[in-house]
């Protein structure tokens, strides 16, 4: 088991390999579909983003309301492919990694390799357990989106698996003579 902390430097990202199990500590930004759309609209318009993306990780999650005494409620991952249309501009803007569940498109895999980013898989179906790894939470922007706003979560030992590493290697593929073939 490897341990990594935020912000995730290029060097730390390069040290990870597809399939590595990691405990992540530090800041995770949360964002889902609508927040991604708005961030990309800012970029297209040439506006400054309302959040700092450089060397950060976006966790594809919309945290549930916090029960008494906790910073957040359930915070399980959402399907990552829903963010594929927005991923390349955010990687270009300095995003170091993403976390969610499921496969990514070939375009996103190539962009992860190009921008030396990392895609992490979070354990699905464990939202209540993952919430116990959150020590603090605050909303950063897009309050009108409710749980789909961008939040900053401070986490300790948040469990991830490296799904796609900086070289574009993916746990969803096997490598044969330099060509990726999807596992059946």
- Any idea where the domains of the chain sit in the sequence? 2-182
- Write the pLDDT tens digit of every residue in 96-105: 999 999 999 9
User: What's the pLDDT at 173?
Assistant: 77
Q: Are 148 and 62 in contact (CB under 8 A)?
A: yes
Predicted TM-score (pTM) of this structure? 0.91
> Average of pLDDT values for 146-158?
96
Of the candidates 2, 10, 35, the one whose C-alpha atom is nearest the C-alpha of residue 167 is 10
Average pLDDT, rounded, for the chain: 93
Active site residues: 36
Cα separation of the two ends of the chain: 27
CATH level 3 topology of 2-182:
fumarase (3.20.130)
> Average of pLDDT values for 46-62?
96
Radius of gyration of the chain (CA): 16
- Which residues does 11 contact at the CB level (< 8 Å), separation at least 6? none
Q: Between 82 and 1, whose confidence is greater? A: 82
């Amino acid at each position: 088991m490897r341990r990594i902390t935020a912000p995730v430097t290029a060097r730390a990202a390069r040290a990870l390999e597809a399939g590595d199990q990691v405990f992540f500590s530090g800041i995770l930004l949360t964002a889902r579909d609508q927040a991604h759309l708005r961030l990309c609209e800012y970029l297209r318009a040439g506006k400054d983003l309302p959040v700092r993306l450089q060397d950060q990780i976006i966790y594809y999650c919309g945290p549930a309301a916090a029960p008494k005494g906790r910073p957040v409620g359930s915070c399980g991952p959402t399907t990552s492919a829903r963010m594929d249309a927005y991923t390349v501009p955010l990687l270009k803007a300095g995003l170091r990694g993403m976390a969610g569940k499921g496969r990514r498109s070939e375009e996103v895999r190539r962009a992860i390799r190009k921008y030396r980013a990392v895609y992490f898989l979070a354990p699905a179906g464990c939202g209540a357990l993952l919430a116990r790894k959150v020590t603090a939470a605050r909303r950063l922007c897009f309050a009108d989106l409710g749980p789909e706003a961008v939040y900053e979560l401070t986490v300790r030992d948040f469990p991830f698996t490296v799904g796609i590493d900086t070289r574009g290697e993916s746990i969803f593929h096997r490598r044969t003579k330099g060509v990726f073939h999807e596992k059946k």
